[in-house]
Amino acid sequence: MAYIQAIRRAQHFIYIENQYFLGSSYAWHSYNEAGADNLIPMELALKIASKIREKERFAVYIVIPMWPEGVPTSASVQEILYWQRQTMKLMYGIIAQELKTSQLKDVQLSDYLNFYCLGNREELHGDSKSNHASHGDLHISASQKFGRFMIYVHAKGMIVDDEYVILGSANINQRSMAGSRDTEIAMGAYQPNYTWAKKQKHPRGQVYGYRMSLWAEHMGKLNDIVTKPESLECVRHVNKVAEDNWKRFTSDSFKPLQGHLLKYPVQVGNDGKVSSLPGHEHFPDVGGKILGARTNLPDALTT
């Protein structure tokens, strides 16, 4: 309820980092009885849709792991990724329908909602290359060979309008949000003198400083554009950094990243359908379908 209340009160942008992101399965086009009934993904999509109707800017940034905890080719991880895809499809579908109804042109779904992950690229220097060569490529992983690694997102938090932050132990999935399964705790915080209502402008207190420090870490460097995360200029700037980093991350030759932020490797159509990036159906080096796959595991284990 704390997440939902904060989302409904949001006026400008929302930034989320979470180990899992799946829910609102009652509105999935398939498997809508999976039991992941938490409202958070639906509330975010409806917030964006309401802002489109009001002709106001609003942006949602979501950072998740490249794949959830476990082996990416395993049944449990593949099914979680499948639910994650259904969640993305639900959200983008609602936004796409609202854009169509509003007859807005020259806009993209990525102007409002984006998913990211984190990664690192390490260059192998002389001694490391010689050592790997002497042992033969069969004795090192592809990740080591290319110096390409995921940075695992274990955070569970949300920043709203640079004035409110919620942090805790709960993942955005059913087992954390149901209230009757995993035991969780969270706290919400704000500074009364650093709110939009108090300042009558963008508040720049400790919540703002927290977001800026995260973004500096994720993007390597900052400029004035990122001080207004709801703006179209900011969204497109962040997306360009993330897209460029994904190309560098997946290149066979070493190319240093700007920070660690990567575009989450899916393609979103104008109708909201989520598909693989061309040539990137599987995670680099480690395998496993990025879009996931349905398995025979009980839904309660993976939602």
- Distance separating alpha carbons of residues 129 and 202, to the nearest angstrom: 50
pLDDT tens-digit map of 251-301: 999 999 999 999 999 999 999 999 999 999 999 999 999 999 999 999 988
Would you state the pLDDT for residue 17?
98
pLDDT tens-digit map of 214-248: 999 999 999 999 999 999 999 999 999 999 999 99
Would you state the pLDDT for residue 232?
97
Q: What is the pLDDT confidence band of residue 174, given thresholds at 50, 70 and 90?
A: very high
Question: Residue 188's beta-bridge partner residues?
Answer: 166
72-103 per-residue burial string, b: 16 or more CB within 10 A, e: under 16: beebebbbbbbbbbbbbbbbbbbbbebbeeee
Would you state the pLDDT for residue 264?
98
Q: Average pLDDT, stretch 23-39?
A: 92
Would you state the pLDDT for residue 128?
54
Q: What count of other Cβ atoms lies within 10 Å of the Cβ of residue 180?
A: 6
Domain spans of the chain, in order of start: 2-302
Would you state the pLDDT for residue 27?
94
- Residue 212 pLDDT > 90, yes or no? yes
Would you state the pLDDT for residue 116?
98
Distance linking the first and last C-alpha atoms of the chain: 19
Q: Average pLDDT, stretch 164-176?
A: 96
- Residue 134 pLDDT > 80, yes or no? no
Contact yes or no for 75/291 (Cβ under 8 A): no
Please tell me the CATH superfamily of domain 2-302, with its number: Endonuclease Chain A (3.30.870.10)
Q: What is the pLDDT confidence band of residue 199, given thresholds at 50, 70 and 90?
A: very high
**Average per-residue pLDDT for the chain:** 93
Sign of CA dihedral 159, 160, 164, 170: negative
- Residue 125 pLDDT > 80, yes or no? no
Would you state the pLDDT for residue 129?
54
- Residue 164 pLDDT > 60, yes or no? yes
Would you state the pLDDT for residue 142?
87
